[in-house]
Amino acid sequence: MIKIYGENKEGKVDEKSLESIDESTDIGTNNWIAISQADSRILEIISRDTNIPLHFLMAALDEEETARLDTEDGSVLVVLDAPVESDDDKSIYITKPFIITYNDNSFITINQYNEFLIPDMMAKIKNIQPQKHVRTTLNLIYQMSKEFIYYLKQIDEQTKKIEHSLHSSMKNKELFELMAINKSLVYFSTALSANKAVLSKLLKSPSYKKYETDLDLMEDTKVELDQAIEMCTIYRKIIEGMMTAFSSIISNNLNIVMKTLAVITIAISIPTGIASFYGMNFDNIPLAHDRWGFYVIIAVAILLALVGGAILVYTTRNNNDKNNR
């Protein structure tokens, strides 16, 4: 899918959607060409019509492309890392490349992974001016930073749910979920740092310094990106602390269960010992020939088990209370 945004004579933005393009397609000039599904044939046609270097456009086909800034023959390439949900597990977030490239006559974005970024930006910004490449680039980076913040808030909600379940958990399931969240935060931390480096280079370039009307947008974009970086750093520290603390809690919960089982085992061992004693092949065993002997022995065994269990429970609780003071 290809969308072409262009400003009409009334100053409003017209949108044209194309399923594909060929050599006869007129993409015009000073338009924003937003590509959501790219292949080498389409990119070759666009490169020829816009005079943007083909290898700039081909960067979109590399899923491992990292954030960077490049220029060549009057064309600018801005590669950013955008947040997306993992195809394998929707609870894990990763990053994929988002391509912005432009020259004096054309502005192109290639976004094959995050389907919400551009529509969200179009919905929030009333006056999109596709011919103003610097402003459009800054708006995209600003919106991308807000996308990172949105996903970070989703991660925070997941963390709170896991924290609640960990209070009574003795399984490793929650720890594995925390590890998956920590993995997402590592991706985000690396991507945000790379995006900040790209933004810093852009703001220092002469083409960005000359537009004083965009100074406020530049500052807002920088602040939003810094906020996303700070949130990611805080959440990573929280997750690391939770993983350490709750691994200890799980071990402690397991120890409590083992103590309970030990008390039960010791209590049961008393009647077991008595039964073993009376199971020996001797004639002169107390109450062996008594009419009520069996019932007396059973009652004594149960009574001793209950007394022994009560003493062990009392001792264990008393020691726990002393340790908690």
Q: Do domains 2-250 and 257-324 have the same CATH topology?
A: no
Residue 188 token pair:
């985000």
Residue 323 has pLDDT above 60, yes or no: no
- Domain spanning 2-250: which superfamily? CorA soluble domain-like (3.30.460.20)
CB of 300 closer than 8 Å to CB of 293? no
Among residues 188, 190, 214, which one has the least CA distance to residue 202? Answer: 214
The number of helices, as runs of H, and strands, as runs of E, in the chain is: 8, 7
| Beta-sheet strand order (sheet of 106-110) | 13-18, 2-7, 31-35, 106-110, 93-102, 75-85, 68-72
The pLDDT score that the predictor gives to residue 282 is: 63
The pLDDT score that the predictor gives to residue 267 is: 73
For 100-111, how does the pLDDT look when each residue is reduced to its tens digit (9 = 90+)?
999 988 899 998
Q: Where are the domains of the chain?
A: 2-250, 257-324
Contacts of 107 (CB under 8 A, 6+ apart): 30, 31, 32, 33, 100, 130, 131, 133, 136
For 78-118, how does the pLDDT look when each residue is reduced to its tens digit (9 = 90+)?
999 999 988 777 778 899 999 999 998 889 999 888 778 88
User: Could you say which of 1.25.40, 1.20.140, 1.20.58, 1.10.3210 is the CATH number of the domain covering 257-324?
Assistant: 1.20.58
The pLDDT score that the predictor gives to residue 23 is: 76
